[in-house]
Structure 1
Amino acid sequence: MTESTSTQEARERSPRSPDSLPLPPGSLGLPVIGETINFLIDPDFSSKQQAKYGPIFKTRIFGGVTVFIVGAEANQFLFTNENKYFVATWPYSTRKLLGSASLATQTGSLHAARRKLLAQAFQPRALASYIPTIEQITASYLDKWQQAGSLTWYPELRNYTFDIASALLVGTENGSQTPLGKLFKDWCDGLFTIPLPLPWTKFGRALRCRRLLLNYIEQIVLQRQQAQDFGNDALGILLQARDEEGNSLSLEELKDQILLLLFAGHETLTSAIASFCLLLAQHPEVMAKARNEQQQLQKLQRSPSLTLDDLKSMTYLDRVLKEVLRLIPPVGGGFREAIESCEFNGYQIPKGWTILYQINQAHKLEELYPECEKFDPDRFDSDRAADKQKLFGYVPFGGGLRECLGKEFARLEMKIFATMLLRSCDWELLPDQDLSMVTVPTPHPKDLLRVSFRQL
């Protein structure tokens, strides 16, 4: 009876039914921990596994079986099947530290509704209002670095981006010098770690920092509410925001959303800006061409302050920044969970497994980016348009329903920083430093980018 039933089921099963297909190749490594340690410490982990198994392979990281997929078709499959086959997920350490009310951990209709609310902080009118603050903070830091003469730049860039994020998001001046800034680094360092909640582990320290950060953010929120002066920064916009039912964000949700915005507007931007500084120092011909464009545009600029129209006219700088984000994307990939078994590239992806799409590997496919390791901004000129040749072949901000909400804010800050830096300063890499990339939590040079710095 059982054999007959199973035979009948086998006949009725579609030949393309996911459970009739093989699982992706790969090794799961050690029990529970799998290959997590290799994944965290080896920046070439994915490329080595891909060379061994192909563009789809499985492993075990952060306690769960994870399928790695790479390529424009893989990205399209994932992004276009959001909420059908996949929902966003994160490693446990990341979910716990971001919080259950964070936009990053929300899914489905709740995510869509909250994303619509938060998007108000990144509309063109809001972005334009941020320009003077970004210019002021940038000018202050450039003057400080010129006076220093030589410096270890990466920690300074972290302070710079955090000062901007804290000023524009929660109205706190010199945020890097407040308790908020001092706690933030330890919190970030625990986001992608083995989740052992012991006081001496990165995760344990990050949990403590999360509690203290939320307390600090809560005091800022309560002060705004009591003063009935919401302000014009992102927090002010969120305090006044209402969903379609007229509901405002709760205090607990506000805290998680602000924490996420501070992270997104700081950690990843630091990585992107540092990569810009590194790559231009390594390619003086690109620096010279970018500086020449700025000198020409500066003569035509009508106002002492930059405008959105001024920034749009910087076509070569656009190409440079696109190539920076291609070669060293601040986010290496993204996680999804399979909510239904499905098939991709001839392999079964079972329900409950995690999928990791890989931005950094997609950006180094030779068929899309010839001489992919070469820093070549002209691959994004109007004739070649490398970012337009294949859907989801260029995804520095992700894609689909969960594309980075703050991508225009990131572009704005990067462009203003690059403009003011190129117009007034010169920098060179100091010798005898390790410029290999540490990739967790975001890519940065191992020796933290030591430079000599001077006024033009």
Structure 2
Amino acid sequence: MAFLLHDPRHLGPRGMPGDAGLPLIGYTWQFANGSLMASRERYDRYGPVSWTRALGKTFVTVNGPDACGEVFANRDRAYASGPGWSVLIGPFFHGGLMLLDFDEHHRHRRIMQDAFTAERLAGYLGPLNETVIQGLRQWPRVGPLDFHPRIKQLTLDVATRSFMGAPLGPEADRLNVAFNDSVLAATAAVRFPVPGLRWAKGLTGRKVLEQFLRPQLPAKRATEGPDLFSALCHATDPDGARFTDDEVVSHMIFLLMAAHDTSTTTLTTLAYYLAKHPEWQERCRAESHALGTDVLTYADLDRLPSLDLCLKEAMRIVTPVPGVMRYTVRETTLLGHRIPADTYVSLHLWNLHHLHEYWPDPDRFDPERFAEPRREDKQHRSLYLPFGHGVHKCIGMYFGQMEVKAIMHQLLLRSRWSVPRDYEMPLDLRSLPRPKDGLPVRFAML
């Protein structure tokens, strides 16, 4: 258990409020089950900047728009994303854009931008729509349905078809398990490979994903296709630089995970609240019918205002990535507090999106808070950050929103779903949020 121990004499940064938690383990349990990231308690007790202990390490926790905005702005280049995230997901998603910094990050992002232009996104939409049509045909026409596992399979199919140019086929189940295990390993309390535990499963998951992708590289290099895998193999920056094979594989693993896991969380939350609030479901359905098309085109994405409001509110209430990690590469100050070099910094975005000072009745589903003239999200430039901010703002943000709208458009046109009036979706906050019960709904094709 040495990896969980902390010296009881240890204090956080001088003058900064905080506490070390329980003897020996600190807040490791709260970190592992997600409650540390989602709780407002530390903010109420210590304010926007405080320190704590978990996983045998000292963390500075950052809450509120002023503190989060300053870290994301990173004006003195003191905060690094790579070593911050590496403590959680480094062995499983190393080489992904989120784990790169400064000049290296800039080089990779410049090349990768070529795969996320408006023209490329429009090209991904055709296969995406076809995959959704095929996937929904496999859903039962009427009866009870566990929404989360169904939509997770669909988003994985969408990601692999759009990003790789072909459906997974018999590999689908094995790769889904590999992604799940790699993501869950981020909050493992035992952080070395004990067989059967989260960390070991995550390492195995990474190997499975590499073994699936690497043999396909020669074919993708040989012919330029419309899929993301091919785009990464052929993308160049203005100076003609390209990705190596290892870089392509690492970026594909990270993007495939992000594209289907965060979209699954958003679609599940959106489906839950539209079931709880049928008046909003009918409002969104009417707008989809008014478009007069079974599938969205790229030009249609901004023509569903009610769905857009509901999407924003769903991502506020259940933030797909509840927190963001950074690591100080030099000493810096944050809202007057000194933070030494080599310190882990944890930004609590879930809490940011539930501060009642800015969001009245923050746990209530109220899409109109994003409509004119209310625009509660505009009270502070760093108040609503579901995709992060600054140089590490999610590069797949527009693809993700396109995917969610395209899938929900077809669901609204083809089906209606509901939950019992007194049902409340129980959330598992380990790693990325998901319903503990799979979100059972009463489902009927129209």
TM-score normalised according to structure 2 size: 0.90
Answer whether contact 2:295 2:406 (CA < 8 A) is retained.
Answer: no
Deviation at 1:33, TM superposition (A): 4.4
Q: 1:238 to 1:204 in 2, by over 3 A?
A: same
Q: 1:264 to 1:432 in 2, by over 3 A?
A: same
Matched, 1:57 2:50: yes
Partner of 1:7: none
Structure 1 residue matching 2:40: 3-state secondary structure: helix
Partner of 1:189: 184
State which of 35, 50, 53 in structure 2 corresponds to 1:43.
35
Partner of 1:73: 66
Stretches of 4+ aligned residues off by more than 4 angstroms: 30-33, 430-434
Query: Alpha carbon RMSD of aligned pairs, Å?
Result: 2.1
Answer whether contact 2:358 2:376 (CA < 8 A) is retained.
Answer: yes
Structure 1 residue matching 2:60: 3-state secondary structure: strand
Structure 1 residue matching 2:61: 3-state secondary structure: strand
Partner of 1:255: 249
Structure 1 residue matching 2:359: 3-state secondary structure: coil
How big is each residue's C-alpha offset from its partner over 1:177-212, in whole Å with a ceiling of 9 and x where there is no partner? 264334222222213323121222111111012112
Q: Which amino acid aligns with 1:217?
A: L
Which one has the largest radius of gyration? 1
Give 1:277-288 correspondences, 5 Å limit. 277-288=271-282
State which of 283, 297, 307 in structure 2 corresponds to 1:307.
297
Q: Which amino acid aligns with 2:359?
A: Y
Give 1:256-405 correspondences, 5 Å limit. 256-298=250-292, 301=293, 305-405=295-395
Partner of 1:180: 175
Deviation at 1:397, TM superposition (A): 0.3
Q: 1:432 to 1:387 in 2, by over 3 A?
A: closer
Partner of 2:10: none
Q: 1:168 to 1:216 in 2, by over 3 A?
A: same
Matched, 1:129 2:123: yes
How big is each residue's C-alpha offset from its partner over 1:319-364, in whole Å with a ceiling of 9 and x where there is no partner? 1111111111100010111222222233222221111111111111
State which of 90, 95, 100 in structure 2 corresponds to 1:95.
90
Structure 1 residue matching 2:141: 3-state secondary structure: helix
Deviation at 1:294, TM superposition (A): 2.0
Answer whether contact 1:337 1:353 (CA < 8 A) is retained.
Answer: yes
Q: 1:197 to 1:148 in 2, by over 3 A?
A: farther
How big is each residue's C-alpha offset from its partner over 1:235-263, in whole Å with a ceiling of 9 and x where there is no partner? 11111112344332111111111100111
Deviation at 1:286, TM superposition (A): 1.5
Answer whether contact 1:36 1:60 (CA < 8 A) is retained.
Answer: yes
The whole-number CA distance in structure 1 between the counterparts of 2:261 and 2:419 is: 22
The whole-number CA distance in structure 2 between the counterparts of 1:394 and 1:270 is: 20
Q: 1:31 to 1:242 in 2, by over 3 A?
A: farther
Matched, 1:243 2:237: yes
Overall identity of the aligned pairs, in %? 28
Partner of 2:150: 156
Answer whether contact 1:93 1:203 (CA < 8 A) is retained.
Answer: no
Structure 1 residue matching 2:325: 3-state secondary structure: strand
How big is each residue's C-alpha offset from its partner over 1:259-281, in whole Å with a ceiling of 9 and x where there is no partner? 00111101111111100011111
TM-score normalised according to structure 1 size: 0.88
Q: How many residues align?
A: 429
Structure 2 residue matching 1:270: 3-state secondary structure: helix
Answer whether contact 1:269 1:414 (CA < 8 A) is retained.
Answer: yes
Deviation at 1:426, TM superposition (A): 0.5
Answer whether contact 1:433 1:447 (CA < 8 A) is retained.
Answer: no
Deviation at 1:415, TM superposition (A): 0.6
Q: 1:84 to 1:44 in 2, by over 3 A?
A: closer
Deviation at 1:34, TM superposition (A): 2.8
Q: 1:50 to 1:33 in 2, by over 3 A?
A: same
Structure 1 residue matching 2:138: 3-state secondary structure: helix
Matched, 1:141 2:135: yes
Answer whether contact 1:272 1:324 (CA < 8 A) is retained.
Answer: yes
The whole-number CA distance in structure 1 between the counterparts of 2:227 and 2:93 is: 21
Deviation at 1:55, TM superposition (A): 2.4
Q: Which amino acid aligns with 1:56?
A: V
The whole-number CA distance in structure 2 between the counterparts of 1:33 and 1:120 is: 45
Deviation at 1:396, TM superposition (A): 0.5
Deviation at 1:384, TM superposition (A): 1.3
Deviation at 1:146, TM superposition (A): 3.5
Partner of 1:425: 415
Q: Which sections of structure 1, spanning at least 5 residues, go unmatched?
A: 1-20
The whole-number CA distance in structure 2 between the counterparts of 1:182 and 1:172 is: 19
Structure 2 residue matching 1:343: 3-state secondary structure: strand
How big is each residue's C-alpha offset from its partner over 1:371-408, in whole Å with a ceiling of 9 and x where there is no partner? 21111111111211222231111100000110011000
Partner of 2:401: 411
The whole-number CA distance in structure 2 between the counterparts of 1:432 and 1:71 is: 32
State which of 197, 211, 225 in structure 2 corresponds to 1:215.
211
